[in-house]
Amino acid sequence: MEQDKRADGEPAPLGDLTAAFPATSLETWTQVVEKALKGGTVADRLTTRTLDGLAIKPLYTKADWAAGRSGVPGAAPYTRGAQAEAELSGGWDLRQVIDDPRLDLARAAIAEDLEGGATSLGLRIAEEPPSQCHGPWGLWVATLAELDQVLKDVDLRGAGIALEVGQGAFAAGAALLALAEQRGVPGGELRGALNVDPIGTFAASGHLRQSLPRVFDDLADLVRVVAARTPNLGAVGVDARLYHTAGASEAQEVAFALATGAAYLRALDERGIAPETALHHMTFSFAVDSQFFRSMAKLRAARLAWARVADAVGAGSAAGAMRIWAEGAWRDLATRDAYVNMLRGTAHCFAAACGNADAISVRPFDEALAVPGLFGRRIARNTQLILAEESGLGRVRDPAGGAWSIETLTEEFAAKAWSLFQEIEAQGGMVKAIEDGRVEHAIAGIRKTRTQRLATRKDPVTGVSIFPDLNEPMVSRAEIDWTALATETIKRRRAARVKDADAKLHALARAPAQGRVAAAIEALKAGATFAEIDSAGAEDQGQGLPKAVALRPMRQSAAFERLRDASDSLPRRPRVFLANFGKPRDYLDRATFARNVFAVGGIEPVGDGGCQTVDELVAAAKASGASLIVLSCSDEHYQQHGVDCLKALKALSPTCLYAVAQPDDALTAAGVDAYVRRGIDIGALLADALTKLGARVS
């Protein structure tokens, strides 16, 4: 369509582009689509369901969503984000996570990240080394001196600091306050989040070092201190990422976040802290995954539901603006064909930005393999910069706003999460749900469904369960001498400890509830560790400490990666002969399917051509030297020649003989050990094959 020119030479407005097209009703569209489907309805064939049971339709219309229900950006109910249009300043807080246990390298990474465009730092702290060297990783920081060492080159007035600690979070928060005090940083210029989340720690680990009343006393004192000294610093954290890592659905993740936040509001209110103050100093962390439409709807739903909680506790409308730190899902990362993780990271960042996250972290593509290297960190950082600046995503507030599908899914997620939240509250709240095992049990049901969908490739993992590359380029990774690092760490902590550390810890144990932060800071200055701060005054021999079944984390590609590991452990790469019978049109689709299936398990397919006779097929199979054989041909050829082909191939005594076909009694009698077809548990099929070949599948 060519535009007319105005008198001044500028193009004239196009006007209503829809005017040239006839109006079409949903009924007409449905009739046309169902005709193209050649059987079945749109509802049956094209509607999918989330693991919460919510239907996702193939087409949404204006009738699905009444415009305006989400409000405007920067206003209650904050579905469209806490930042108003006029406040948009070019994007979001680009938060780079620091998790290298080698403090000197962590310090160097921080310098590069800040110089390369990061606007805040997420310090993922692990007091002890990982039990197995496969991540997630963490800074080995457990004292004030070590925190000072890591942040030595950081101006705390400029870069925001967000902590992620788990056990020892209260002590780490006190350490950051102490560090700012030592450096003379004005409280109003310190920003970030301490993210103290004892309920999340309880769910993830199954235990706490202190009783819940003492934990909440500490949290209340921390909020008081932060509110008085550092108005731009968050104190309370609600980490919903750990539920996502365990396999939770979108509504479950939001519901558990709501229930945790409500528990903190209740506990802090009992200790004299007004809901407005608690809400102002609370930060939520969510995972975003490759299901980016669902992820962005989830973040928007969380905002919508949390505003309702804030309203219920009587806080002002401004207090209901949820602050969100969104991070790429650990569950999504793969160790095989790891470069595909770059694409996943891009999807994660896109979802987080469209979901109006305040701070976003993209995981380095090599994080599941080893402590992320400089290249992986740079790609993660630049992914955000490209989307925010070059793609222009940072110049748009609530890009998904008004999209009928996203708006509808937002409200459905919010409604489902609210219903689950009400159930948790009615049965005693989040802590009781964790103690009773109801949280883990609920997630386990979803995790089981996820596992089944992954095994049957209803939820495929690119580069792992589909399109695997047996010749993938290896990602370089640094080897760490964990024993030497641990020894060095112990020596450093002993050297930093002063004589009166035990006395300071004893004073902390006796400190009143509203003096715990001050006493903790004094003990930290004396060289006490975070664990010692946590345990000071704990009940004798663990009596009275809460216990629960810990959440079970999952990584969706792990089961397939174990198959590849088992294959790699064999003296030579196992092979499967593609016994293709007939002309290419008779076998090509099925042979391609079989090729892909066996490659998933690290089994190399050999034999590309087709054979016209049984004798040719047997000769080719014998020449291949493969101990696994899979027959592919058309249904007609199976009926006419399948039995003869299979009997002849079985006479070669292969370890396993397969047929790409539906199960058939005659074919089974002819020697088929298993059928390769859509919908089967390919993990079980491949594990059986590798076991019979002598590999040990863990």
Contacts of 183 (CB under 8 A, 6+ apart): 156
pLDDT at 451 over 50: yes
Nearest residue to 90 via CA among 325, 409, 344, 353: 353
- Residue 684: predicted pLDDT: 96
**Structural element, H or E, at residue 487:** helix 482-496
Q: What is the pLDDT of residue 98?
A: 96
- Render pLDDT for 179-217 as a digit per residue (tens, 0 to 9): 999 999 999 999 999 999 999 999 999 999 889 999 999
Residue 570 confidence class, pLDDT cut points 50, 70, 90: very high
The identity of residue 567, as a single letter, is: S
pLDDT at 83: 79
Give the C-alpha separation, 438 to 50, whole Å. Answer: 21
Give the confidence band of 8 by pLDDT, cuts at 50, 70, 90. low
What's the one-letter identity of residue 453?
A: R
At 21-39, the pLDDT tens digits run 788 888 999 999 999 998 8
- Secondary structure of residue 340 in the 3-state scheme: helix
Q: Please work out, in degrees rounded to the nearest 5, the angle formed at the alpha carbon of residue 614 by the alpha carbons of 610 and 617.
A: 45
- The predicted structure's pLDDT at residue 162: 97
pLDDT value for 496? 79
User: Computed over its alpha carbons, how large is the radius of gyration of the chain?
Assistant: 29
The stretch 261-286 carries a mean pLDDT of 97
Please answer whether residues 593 and 576 qualify as being in contact, where contact means their C-beta atoms are separated by less than 8 angstroms.
no
The pLDDT-based confidence of 132 (bands split at 50, 70, 90) is: very low
If you average pLDDT over residues 587-606, what whole number do you get? 96
List phi, psi (to 5°) of 686: -70, -35
- What pLDDT score was predicted for residue 72? 85
Please write the tens of the pLDDT for every residue from 238-257.
999 999 999 999 999 999 99
Q: Which residue shows structure tokens 């902390």?
A: 508
* Amino acid, res. 565: D
Task: Evaluate whether 633 touches 658 at the Cβ level (below 8 Å).
Answer: no
For 125, which DSSP code? Answer: B
CB within 8 A of 389, min separation 6: which ones? 90, 91
Poorest-confidence range of 391-395, 453-457, 489-493, 605-609? 489-493
What average pLDDT does the segment 55-75 reach?
Answer: 81
Any residues with CB less than 8 A from the CB of 402 and at least 6 apart, and which?
67
Cα–Cα dist 621/649, whole Å: 8
Q: Between these two residues, 382 and 90, which has the higher pLDDT value?
A: 382
pLDDT score of 88: 55
Query: In sequence order, which residues have a C-beta less than 8 Å from that of residue 467 and are 6 or more positions away?
Result: 596
Q: What is the mean pLDDT of residues 643-669?
A: 96
Q: Which two tokens stand for residue 55?
A: 């239907």
**The pLDDT of residue 131:** 47
pLDDT tens digits along 304-351: 999 999 999 988 778 889 999 999 999 999 999 999 999 999 999 999
What is the pLDDT confidence band of residue 11, given thresholds at 50, 70 and 90?
A: low
Q: Which of 58-72, 163-177, 283-297 has the lowest mean pLDDT?
A: 58-72
- What pLDDT is stored for residue 535 in this prediction? 86
Q: Name 288's bridge partners.
A: 328
pLDDT band at 87 (very low <50, low <70, confident <90, very high): low
d(CA 389, CA 353): 12
Give 671's pLDDT tier (boundaries 50, 70, 90): very high
Instruction: Evaluate if residue 16 carries a pLDDT over 50.
Output: yes
The 3-class SS string of 574-588 reads CEEEEEEECCHHHHH
Asked if pLDDT for residue 541 goes beyond 50, the answer is no
- 241, two tokens: 């990422």
- 3-state percent breakdown (helix, strand, coil) of the chain, nearest 5: 50, 10, 40
Give the span between the Cα atoms of 470 and 602, in whole angstroms.
7
Instruction: Tell me what the mean pLDDT of segment 461-477 comes to.
Output: 90
Structure tokens at 299: 């973040």
Mean pLDDT of 584-590: 96
CA distance 395 to 388: 7
The separation between CA 317 and the C-alpha centre of its own chain, rounded to angstroms, equals 30
Structure tokens at 217: 């006393």
Q: What is the average pLDDT value for the chain, to the nearest integer?
A: 91
How large a percentage of the chain has pLDDT more than 70? 94
Distance (Å, rounded) from C-alpha 695 to C-alpha 528? 48
Domains defined for the chain, CATH in brackets? 92-455 (3.20.20.240), 558-692 (3.40.50.280)
Report the pLDDT value the prediction gives residue 648, as an integer from 0 to 100: 97
